[in-house]
């Protein structure tokens, strides 16, 4: 575990907010609606947002208190403008009010400087690998949302340099943050890297190879406890070699492509076997396992399955005894629960979030979404912090998600979230609330245009209901998103449409709806404004002056 140098940061300012002398807020509540994955792109047949019938959203976007915000790249702490945003970094920025270096950027720095290899965790993993087998597990692509294959390649090469002679790679096929059927290209690149390492280390009998895999939405990468059997399938595949046998990962993918039109993310688990049909990469006592994903949400559960001594979500001994391995993650995915215990790169330290300030001021608030995005309006919004900041002032509501393909239920739980939000607003107990409508993102990820159009129309229907209630209560509604997705559903080359299942680089909407507005403030979008500018705006609308080091508000008085 890396340790920040002494004196790396100044003491945090005391929490406390001054009143906004220009605006004391409205008598009713302030509601923030985050339409997950709903970006802004030119109208066209691939844009589910504009293809849908959304009179309420159209009216919001046409209002004088409407603008757009950046939700990708450096605006949310990612390395470059080529890096798409995601829900985790988006909600970090929304809740923190400042931009913090995020996963990929942190890992890039640690690899470039060599700091990652100087950690006790890396040295311990290498020691285990020299004596036994070093396993690398992670999302296999260059999508740069959960992982990047360049990180994998650098660690594989360094492991060989450090004396490891036997390593196994367990690949989780993407097809979500990258083109839907791109796995073969990535596998070919990885096989070339492995071949080069093996040839260079032939005198030492170096043996690095792919051992197992499967689609990211079929095995291993569940989140928020939505589908533990999915984690079990991945655990048993990677650990004990349970899966359909093939002689290579490419053969597995080619065979499954021929059998259906499923994208990479939905392909079944597979294992690589030798000529005798024996899996080449099962895990055993003394092995080391490096989970090279840097994003936390879909890494927590598999981490717990490997390292929690009291794990009980499924029987780890059902196939064979659970091996005692040294497990580490690229980062610590949950800093409060300390998952995993060992990690290679420190996650960003995010303190003084907007929720901490509001609790210090005694402001009662609520957060609500369904399971798929519940952690985003709580854990990620609060700066990667589990649990309540102040349970006497906050109420968190989770609507259980259905465990079904989201294109089959494009409304998801948007109506149920709306129903419960209206109850919370009308209770009169809360001055601020935030919610996440997940369907623009989760249905958008399926690549199904018409289902995503339906999802947008349900969001529009529910927005109309929320606006009516906020108006009735004399409050303000703010509408935005955390990144794009539904705004580009396919690309087209020579008349051939290819579903786009990944996020986009497009900006997102930002609208203030205030029925009592008579010009007291205006949109004054700072240059380069992004999601981090939202927190200061919310504080201004609540009648407070934002902290001096927050990104400036999107409104001016």
Supply the residues annotated as catalytic.
87
Give the separation between CA 89 and CA 75, rounded to whole angstroms: 10
Length of the chain: 557
Residue 434 in contact with residue 377, Cβ under 8 Å?
yes
**To the nearest 10°, the Cα dihedral for 79, 83, 84, 85?**
-10
Give the separation between CA 190 and CA 168, rounded to whole angstroms: 12
* Helix (H/G/I), strand (E/B), else coil: 292: coil
Going by C-alpha positions, the residue among 389, 432, 435, 390 that lies closest to residue 415 is 435
Using alpha carbons, list the distances in angstroms from residue 72 to 185, 414, 492.
25, 25, 23
- 394 backbone dihedrals φ, ψ, rounded to 5°: -115, 145
- 17 backbone dihedrals φ, ψ, rounded to 5°: -125, 145
Residue 125 in contact with residue 135, Cβ under 8 Å?
no
Give the separation between CA 15 and CA 13, rounded to whole angstroms: 6
Strand partners, 290: 136, 328
**Could you tell me how far CA 272 lies from the centroid of its own chain?**
29
Enumerate residues 6+ apart whose C-beta is below 8 A from 339. Answer: 300, 303, 304, 307, 329, 332, 333
Sign of the Cα torsion 106, 10, 8, 528 reads positive
Give the separation between CA 543 and CA 19, rounded to whole angstroms: 6
- Sheet of 244-246, strands arranged across: 244-246, 270-272, 207-215, 166-173, 134-140, 288-291, 326-331, 343-345
Kindly state the helix (H) or strand (E) to which residue 217 belongs, with its residue range: none
Joined tokens for residue 43 = 């109208």
């Amino acid at each position: 575990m890396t340790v920040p140098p002494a004196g790396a940061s100044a003491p945090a300012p005391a929490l406390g907010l001054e009143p906004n002398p220009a605006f004391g807020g409205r008598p009713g509540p302030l509601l923030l609606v985050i339409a997950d994955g709903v970006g802004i792109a030119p109208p066209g047949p691939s844009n589910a947002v504009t293809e849908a019938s959304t009179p309420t959203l159209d009216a919001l976007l046409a209002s004088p208190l409407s603008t757009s915000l950046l939700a990708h790249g450096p605006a949310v702490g990612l390395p470059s403008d080529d890096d798409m945003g995601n829900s985790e970094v988006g909600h970090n920025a929304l809740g923190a009010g400042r931009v913090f270096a995020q996963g990929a950027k942190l890992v890039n720095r640690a690899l470039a400087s060599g700091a990652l290899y100087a950690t006790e965790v890396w040295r311990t993993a290498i020691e285990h690998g020299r004596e036994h087998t070093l396993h690398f597990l992670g999302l296999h692509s260059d999508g740069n949302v959960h992982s990047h294959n360049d990180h994998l390649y650098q660690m594989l090469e360094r492991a060989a340099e450090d004396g490891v002679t036997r390593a196994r790679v367990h690949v989780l096929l993407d097809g979500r943050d990258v083109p839907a059927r791109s796995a073969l290209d990535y596998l070919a690149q990885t096989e070339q890297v492995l071949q080069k390492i093996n040839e260079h280390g032939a005198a030492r009998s170096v043996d690095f190879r792919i051992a197992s895999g499967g689609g990211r939405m079929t095995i291993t990468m569940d989140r928020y406890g939505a589908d533990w059997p999915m984690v079990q399938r991945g655990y048993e595949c990677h650990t004990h070699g349970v899966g359909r046998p093939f002689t290579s990962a490419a053969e597995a993918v080619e065979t499954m492509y021929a059998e259906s039109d499923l994208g990479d993310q939905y392909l079944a688990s597979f294992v690589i076997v030798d000529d005798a049909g024996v899996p080449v990469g099962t895990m055993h006592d003394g092995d080391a396992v490096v989970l090279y994903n840097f994003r936390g949400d879909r890494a927590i559960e598999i981490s717990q399955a490997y390292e929690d001594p009291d794990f009980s979500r499924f029987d780890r001994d059902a196939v064979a005894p659970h091996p005692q391995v040294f497990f580490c993650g690229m980062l610590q995915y949950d800093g409060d629960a300390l998952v995993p215990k060992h990690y290679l790169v420190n996650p960003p330290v995010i303190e003084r979030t907007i929720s901490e300030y509001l609790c210090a001021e005694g402001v009662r608030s609520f957060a609500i979404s369904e399971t798929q995005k519940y952690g985003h309006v709580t854990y990620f919004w609060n700066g990667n912090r589990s649990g309540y900041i102040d349970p006497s002032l906050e109420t968190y509501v989770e609507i259980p998600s259905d465990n079904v393909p989201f294109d089959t239920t494009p409304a998801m739980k948007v109506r149920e979230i709306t129903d419960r939000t209206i109850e919370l607003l009308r209770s009169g107990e809360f001055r601020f609330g935030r919610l996440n409508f997940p369907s623009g993102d989760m249905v958008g990820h399926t690549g199904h245009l018409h289902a995503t159009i339906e999802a947008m129309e349900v969001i529009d229907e529910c927005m109309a209901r929320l606006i009516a209630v906020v108006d009735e209560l004399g409050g303000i509604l703010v509408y935005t998103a955390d990144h794009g997705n539904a705004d580009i559903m396919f690309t087209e080359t020579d008349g051939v449409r290819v579903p786009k299942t990944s996020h986009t680089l497009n900006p997102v909407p930002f609208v203030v709806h205030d029925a009592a507005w008579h010009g007291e403030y205006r949109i004054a979008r700072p240059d380069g404004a992004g999601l981090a500018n939202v927190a200061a705006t919310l504080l201004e609308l609540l009648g407070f002056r934002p902290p001096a080091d927050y990104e400036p508000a999107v409104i001016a008085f």
